[in-house]
A = this chain, B = another copy of it.
Amino acid sequence: MISVDTAIKIVADTVEPLPSRTVPFENTLGFCLAQDVQSDIDMPPFDRSAMDGYAIVAEDTTAAPLELAVIEDIAAGHMPTKKVLHGQASKIMTGAAVPEGADAVVKFEETEDISNNRVKILKSVRKGSNISRRGEDMQAGQTVLHKGMPIRPQEIGILAMVGKSRVEVFSAPTVGIISTGDELVDVGCKPSTAQIRNSNGYSLSAQARRLKAEVEILGIVKDTKEEISDIMRRGLQKDILILSGGVSMGEYDLVGDVMKDFNTKIYFEKVALRPGKPVIFGRKDKTFIFALPGNPVASFVTFELFIYPAIRKMMGFSDIHRTMLKASLETEILVKRKRREYRPASLRMHNNACLVSPVEWHGSADLLATTRANCLLIVREDAEKLALGQLVDVIPLD
């Protein structure tokens, strides 16, 4: 049995980024850039007015208040045609190019219109005032976005700005999900006393879709080698195949056996973890297979610990793990077993500190507890009692 940290490291070291593909830039939100992106323009493209006002020669305004002759009216999107000389001003809009000769802009609020072609400047301004210099924000040829960056709305804006209408991103994996267990029925059925509905298939699907993976729920199979083999063959077309259930040491736990029958390379089969000890990670040809425990909270937690980094690494991100924070415990915790535990918990901020308390939780079947949680609280292997106010590691989930 290996530690959680070792198991996570094995996953992170084994999985590789998927090939990249070139797609319309508007469709890349949430993906990871697979190329550096250069600007093809200077921004601002010219010395630009940062205000609505008058472009003038700063030196003239030392004598303010004074009147200047208005020689032109420059709108955004149009280039100035006249050079501003001493004693002159050009009316200018925010974003328009500052005309030759002018070296500052006085904003409207500090002027008074005298007539159509005369303006009174009320205050003196310094050279360069209210002008953004050409190339100040970005320059033609400059690398503005880097391979490995996550694409958020602001990166979409930059791609638009530099004309990168098609861009190379890493692909998201295809994921197949199989739920195993004689006791499972689908959501539309009313379970008999011995049955429960398949919830893992859907929660795992949502966890993977949240990361942008392309998910197919392959369905429910009975605990027979034949049924598991048949569906696993279909699942091997995916980049990632997730099974839940059938991995304990019971006699009906056949998923591991079937994986071995398929000559799957097995990296680990058990992790010192609660909930979720029996977790199998293997590879068959190009497909990474994760066989998770059937209990809903165990399936939920093991996805976040092991499959989350696998998907993120496949998608090209450098930052592949869920963020871990330190939070101060709002209640003491007694530790029963010397095994790494992940408990559903509630994280909140008070001033600039994170505070955490576990939510009521009856164990690995109690998925309802996780609806009251927004993080997982980590109890380390060497912990005996966690005291009020002690700093613990938490993984925010939302």
Residues of A within 8 A of B (CB): 25-26, 29, 40-41, 43-46, 48, 50, 52, 73, 75-79, 93-97, 108, 132, 136-138, 144-145, 149-150, 152-165, 181-184, 187-191, 193-207, 209-210, 223, 248-252, 294-296, 300, 323, 325-328, 349, 351-354, 362-363, 365-371, 373, 391, 397-398
Contacts and interface: CB of A to CB of B under 8 A. Distances in A.
25 contacts: A26-B206, A40-B190, A43-B365, A45-B195, A77-B223, A94-B294, A95-B183, A132-B362, A132-B363, A136-B362, A137-B368, A144-B371, A152-B397, A153-B210, A154-B300, A154-B367, A155-B371, A158-B367, A160-B198, A160-B203, A161-B199, A163-B190, A163-B197, A165-B187, A352-B391
B145 A371 contact: yes
A44 B76 CA distance: 68
Given A157-B300, A250-B94, A188 B206 contact: no
A196 B94 CA distance: 13
B44 A365 contact: yes
A181 B96 CA distance: 11
Nearest to A217: B26
A157 B203 CA distance: 5
Contacts of A367: 137, 154, 157-158, 161
Contacts of A132: 362-363, 365
A117 B275 CA distance: 31
A370 B156 CA distance: 11
Given A157-B199, A193-B45, A203-B153, A93 B250 contact: yes
Q: Taking each of A45, A164, A368, which has the highest tally of chain B beta carbons within 10 Å of its own beta carbon?
A: A368
Nearest to A202: B160
A341 to B, nearest CB: 15
Contact of A352 (B160, B197, B294, B328): B328
B207 A153 contact: yes
Given A252-B76, A367-B157, A370-B154, A163 B187 contact: yes
Contacts of A349: 323, 325-326, 354
A52 B249 contact: yes
A343 B156 CA distance: 19
Given A108-B249, A352-B353, A362-B137, A187 B206 contact: no
B200 A157 contact: yes
A183 B77 contact: yes
Contacts of A195: 45, 77
B77 A181 contact: yes
